[in-house]
Amino acid sequence: MTHREALEEVGRAKALILASLAFLAWYLSVAEIGEALSIAEKACLQSLRLPERPKAGVLYNLRHDYHEANFMHLVENGVPVHYYWSSAEDQEGRFRRLSPEYWSEYCDVCGRTEDIENVRAEDFASFPLWKEDLERYDWFFQDLRAGKRGEILDPASFRPGWEYRIVDFRLYGARTLTNRGVIRAYSERFKGTCAATPSGMPAMMREWPATHANDLADFGSDGDDEGETEQDAFFESTIRAREMVKNKWAPRPPNRTFNSFNGRLNGPEPPSARLHKRRRSLTAVEWAREMASEGHQPEAATSLSADLRNSGSSKRSRASSPGGTLPSEGGGFRREYQDLEEEGEITEDDQAGSSVPGAPNVRIEPYENLQWDESWLGAAVLVCDDDRSSLRMKIFAACCGVNSITEVMELAIRFGLPFALYVPAARVREFARWDQADSLDEETLDALYSPGYRDAQLLYGTGGAALYEQYRAILHHLLRRPHATAFIFAGGVLRFVAENYHKGLVQRLVRGPSLQVTEHLAGRKRLLSRGSGREFFIADQVSESEISLLLGHIAGTKGSNEAWLWPPPEVMESESLHMRGYLSSGAYKILVNIRNDLTKKKKFVWRTRADWKEYFRCGQKRAFTPPVIPSRRDFAEGSRLFARSFPADWSSKELVDLPIPEEFVPLARD
């Protein structure tokens, strides 16, 4: 057996174990079935302590799946429940108990009383507006008036007076229903056979033989396997039902389909896999890794978790760690963008870094052993002029493994988020350090920060290699200026280019403000509110001419338009769908390919603004377009929703005073 075959075998074993444990967790939550076990079997199952283990979350589409929803059972058993909330759900009264406004008022009432267990909806300020909806629908979203008005006829097979329990095949148990119309709809959807007694019995799935997948396209089959025992048929049918429902509705990575059979059963291919033939199914090893991951949670959903039930004094519930990466926004690129993989143009420094999602062979260098100046952190104030950066940094702070503001800023730097660190103008002298000059003499520094200083500009001349050498010579001087660290704070293209030509800028940045601020008071000034008054703050700044030099800008003449060696940030932001306020994997790949053209292929091309626009448009046609393109409005809404559970205000506060980890304010308490 080869090493690869051994890994695949281990993966299949892990998948089987995880699937079995998931089934047992569901099995144990059904009391009537559990009572059929022997004492020894119960003791064995209890020793696994499955109810205490982390459980995969359930993601509901409320309007489509409310017949199957069993929120109370899931929350009671510690299963995270997630659901999308939009104006469509808000307009349906049956979901009123799950609205953000409902839970917000619930939390407000809980905060004003010590008797949380007896909080009632009647205590809410908006109860008169919600009264009709709350009295009409129960927690299973059933219309309590429908049965009384006789709008839903009782089928002959559902006898009055009997109690029916519907099995929830999402791994987690059963619930009692009183609305027989809902029972019938549920059983018909899953081709179930209902057996009931006055004491109550579950509605079970019919038996499905191991035939071809096409025979099971309608969730059912008429045949039975004679060789199977009744118990074997029961287990196989329930496992198959669970797998089919999970494949359709359970949280899963984008563009992937779970296939947790993995050869374990000669059963049907899940319907969702047949509907998405182009999607790559997870291998056994990948599936096991996904299912075993503590961060396996759905994204972009409102969460109602059992972890929040006792959150009156609890700390925040953390989101999944980004692992040093952000979600991929990019697809492929045309030939010009694909040269990177074919040429293998990756430096040794690149190979040492962490992988960029969706960008094979492209790496982002990690920052190791950064020693931030503590006195600077004690006085500095974080300012984000871009609201997108502010939201992303707060999300970084909410991730597992992030425990300090320095970790948040290092992530922000790595992904090119623009931000700035301001210090009080009255305290700048405390941070003066002449060793930050980076080989520039005092006379040069005095001239650099004197009023009226002007940088020499690039002249096209003959162009080509000679112009590029002139550009490199200018950069050699430019990036050794004390305030060149402001290019890192600028983020995006400027951060990438500056760090590409001067690897030590980040190490210089963490040592504190530059001589531009501490000695010459020549940086960017801002008046910020502090307590009851306002105070002047100052931060490092690069001029427009310095930005032009960094990008290799050539001024236009009568016979030619202005041109750039690197894309202007405003053009890349407006024209490239891969650039949305940070260096996504797609944006990073574009910049790496531009770098490769210069360093390996010796293609020294200066492009006009129109040329750069065409360059970006060619890389995002059809399949090249990123699947998600967030707008400013999306970020504004995201900030509003995020602030409901992480309300701390970071504005005009010293870094050391920022609450990291921040107290989580839940929307729901039981």
Cβ burial of 497 (10 Å; 0-12, 13-18, 19+) is buried
Q: Which of 5-9, 35-39, 70-74, 664-668 has the lowest mean pLDDT?
A: 664-668
Mean pLDDT of the chain: 67
Closest CA to 268 of 206, 214, 229, 232: 214
Instruction: Give strand ranges (E) for 247-377.
Output: 256-257, 280-281, 302-304, 354-355, 363-364
Q: Please tell me the predicted confidence (pLDDT) of residue 418.
A: 94
Q: What is the 3-state secondary structure (H, E, C) of 438-461?
A: CCCCHHHHHHHCCCCCCCCCCCCC
pTM of the model: 0.50
> In this structure, are strands 58-60 and 81-83 parallel, antiparallel, or unpaired?
parallel
Q: Please tell me the predicted confidence (pLDDT) of residue 570.
A: 94
DSSP-assigned letter for residue 206: P
Binning pLDDT at 50, 70 and 90, where does residue 66 land? Answer: confident
Beta bridge partners of 176: 165
Mean pLDDT of 604-622: 83
Percentage with pLDDT > 90 across the chain: 11
- More confident call, 549 vs 289: 549
Mean pLDDT of 324-338: 29
Binning pLDDT at 50, 70 and 90, where does residue 169 land? Answer: very low
Confidence check: pLDDT of 382 > 80: yes
Closest CA to 362 of 340, 332, 338, 329: 340
Mean pLDDT of 147-158: 38
End-to-end CA, the chain:
53
Q: Which of 57-71, 137-151, 418-432, 629-643 has the lowest mean pLDDT?
A: 137-151
Binning pLDDT at 50, 70 and 90, where does residue 284 land? Answer: very low
Domain ranges of the chain: 3-84+142-308, 335-624
Sign of the torsion angle spanned by Cα atoms 513, 518, 520, 522: positive
Percentage with pLDDT > 70 across the chain: 58
What pLDDT, in 10s, does the model give residues 434-479?
A: 555 555 666 677 777 777 677 878 877 667 888 888 899 889 889 9
DSSP-assigned letter for residue 663: P
Beta bridge partners of 203: 166, 194
Q: Please tell me the predicted confidence (pLDDT) of residue 301.
A: 32
Binning pLDDT at 50, 70 and 90, where does residue 35 land? Answer: low
What distance in Å separates the CA atoms of residue 186 and residue 155, rounded to the nearest whole number? 13
* Alpha helix segments (H runs only) across 2-99: 3-28, 31-34, 39-47, 62-65, 71-76, 87-90
Binning pLDDT at 50, 70 and 90, where does residue 609 land? Answer: very high
Q: Which of 339-348, 451-460, 513-522 has the lowest mean pLDDT?
A: 339-348
Q: In what order do the strands lie in the sheet with 201-205?
A: 174-177, 164-167, 201-205, 192-194
Mean pLDDT of 649-667: 78
Highest-pLDDT range among 196-200, 337-341, 622-626 = 622-626
Q: Please tell me the predicted confidence (pLDDT) of residue 492.
A: 93
Beta bridge partners of 281: 257
Binning pLDDT at 50, 70 and 90, where does residue 140 land? Answer: confident
Q: Please tell me the predicted confidence (pLDDT) of residue 62.
A: 83
Confidence check: pLDDT of 149 > 80: no
Confidence check: pLDDT of 342 > 50: no
DSSP-assigned letter for residue 622: G
Confidence check: pLDDT of 417 > 90: yes
What pLDDT, in 10s, does the model give residues 173-228?
A: 445 555 666 666 655 554 444 444 444 444 433 323 333 333 322 323 333 334 44
Closest CA to 593 of 571, 616, 609: 616
Mean pLDDT of 393-410: 85
- The DSSP H or E segment spanning 393 is helix 387-397
C-alpha distance from residue 187 to each of 151, 166, 639 (Å)? 19, 8, 42
**Cβ(606)–Cβ(552) under 8 Å?**
yes
Q: Please tell me the predicted confidence (pLDDT) of residue 245.
A: 43
Mean pLDDT of 48-57: 71
- 133 Cβ neighbours under 8 A, 6+ residues apart: 93, 94, 96
**Cβ(545)–Cβ(454) under 8 Å?**
yes
What distance in Å separates the CA atoms of residue 353 and residue 166, rounded to the nearest whole number? 51
Q: Please tell me the predicted confidence (pLDDT) of residue 419.
A: 93
Confidence check: pLDDT of 96 > 70: yes
Sign of the torsion angle spanned by Cα atoms 171, 175, 181, 187: positive
Residue with tokens 């020549």: 522
Mean pLDDT of 567-579: 90
Q: Which of 28-42, 320-334, 547-561 has the lowest mean pLDDT?
A: 320-334
Binning pLDDT at 50, 70 and 90, where does residue 281 land? Answer: very low
Residue with tokens 């039975």: 224
**Cβ(619)–Cβ(627) under 8 Å?**
no
The total of other beta-carbon atoms located within 10 Å of residue 374's CB is 11
Binning pLDDT at 50, 70 and 90, where does residue 56 land? Answer: low
> In this structure, are strands 164-167 and 201-205 parallel, antiparallel, or unpaired?
parallel
- More confident call, 469 vs 74: 469
- More confident call, 139 vs 642: 642
Residue type, 268: P
Q: In what order do the strands lie in the sheet with 58-60?
A: 58-60, 81-83, 302-304
Binning pLDDT at 50, 70 and 90, where does residue 642 land? Answer: confident
Confidence check: pLDDT of 414 > 70: yes
Confidence check: pLDDT of 542 > 50: yes
Confidence check: pLDDT of 550 > 90: yes
